[in-house]
Amino acid sequence: MILFRKAAAASDFLNGRRMSGKSIGFVPTMGALHAGHLSLVEKAKAENNLVVCSIFVNPAQFNDPGDLERYPRPIERDIELLTLAGCDVLLLPSVEDIYPREGLLHLHRYDLGHLEHFLEGRSRPGHFQGVANVVDRLLSIVNPDNLYLGQKDFQQVKVLEWLVAHTGRSTHIVICPILREENGLAMSSRNIRLDASNLEKACIIFQSLQFAAANYQLYAPSELQAICIKHIESIPNASVDYLEFCDTGSFQSVNDWRDAEHIVAVTAVMLSGVRLLDNMLIK
Ligand code: AMP
């Protein structure tokens, strides 16, 4: 695996590979890698000549400075995991390289429409502007044929679909399934901040989504929402930030199951100060 710390050097190298006809798959991450991230690398490997992964803890997408500070950064272990996974190129840029000339203070503003202030965007002001800024910059550096994103961050996928479409890129987005712990909890870099008891009880989030998928036709959306929230909040120290049923296309919430052909249940739960996201296609 070749490691680049400078965006320009990575770009030069990748341009050369592209000129010689190699297809490029790209997996952007914030590190603290787990099997979920590695499943994206594996899929990218199967579908491209060259796999590029980036690790960049993006300050622009953290609205809580404490969360940014506490974000795990086990870089040596990440390098080892990516090497073992057969990743070809690792991009490890500095903040200055991604946001040159005080760029962090003058972020580009994207017109993300309702996605910006809805659900995850409402709870984390500025978060999706930060995500759009960093991914736009990373796409300019890597210029991949295929971009691998996890369904785990469903709203983020919607934002990045918008970004790719509105910046005129030909990059194809590949959405990858959510990898889960044995008990069903969605894998996340933040899970290591949960103690054993919380780790065990957090499976109730997954179980609630499964219940929603199996029984949605028996209830109105608002009734099912209340049942799921109550179930999740039976975990001590858990509070549901949101649990919504959304049209997978428009990402607007539905008031009636007939409102959309495909519906996803999305939730964010604070458990002992740790933010856990999950979602499931229910229709
Ligand atoms: P992050 O490092 O959290 O920014 O995640 C990097 C990429 O990995 C994003 O596209 C995530 O959606 C994806 N990802 C995170 N957790 C999982 C998971 N449990 N299963 C599959 N993909 C995931």
pLDDT tens, position by position, 169-179 = 999 999 999 99
Q: Give CA separation, 157 vs 132, 135, 164, 176, in Å.
A: 11, 11, 10, 10
pLDDT tens digit sequence for 5-39 = 999 999 999 999 999 999 999 999 999 999 999 99
Annotated catalytic residue 37: yes
Residue 127's pLDDT is what? Answer: 96
- φ/ψ region of 113 (left if φ > 0, alpha if ψ in -120 to 50, else beta) reads left
- State the DSSP H helix or E strand holding residue 127, giving kind and residue range, or none if neither: helix 127-142
Among residues 34, 37, 114, 127, which one is catalytic?
37
Protein residues with CB under 6 Å of any ligand 1 atom = 29-30, 36-37, 39-40, 149-150, 152-153, 176, 178-179, 186-189
**Which ligand 1 atom is at minimum distance from the Cα of 186?**
19
CA 55 / ligand 1 centre spacing (Å): 12
Which top CATH class is 189-281?
alpha beta
Confidence class for position 67, pLDDT limits 50, 70, 90: confident
Nearest to 171 by CA among 188, 147, 192, 149: 147
What residues does each domain of the chain span? 2-176, 189-281
Residue 43's pLDDT is what? Answer: 98
CA 151 / ligand 1 centre spacing (Å): 8
Task: Confirm whether 2-176 and 189-281 share one CATH topology.
Answer: no
3-class SS at 275?
strand
pTM to 2 decimal places: 0.97
Domain 2-176: CATH architecture, name and number where available: 3-Layer(aba) Sandwich (3.40)
Q: What is the mean pLDDT of the chain?
A: 97
Instruction: Note whether 54 and 25 are within 8 A (CB).
Output: no
The whole-angstrom separation of Cα 207 and Cα 78 is 30
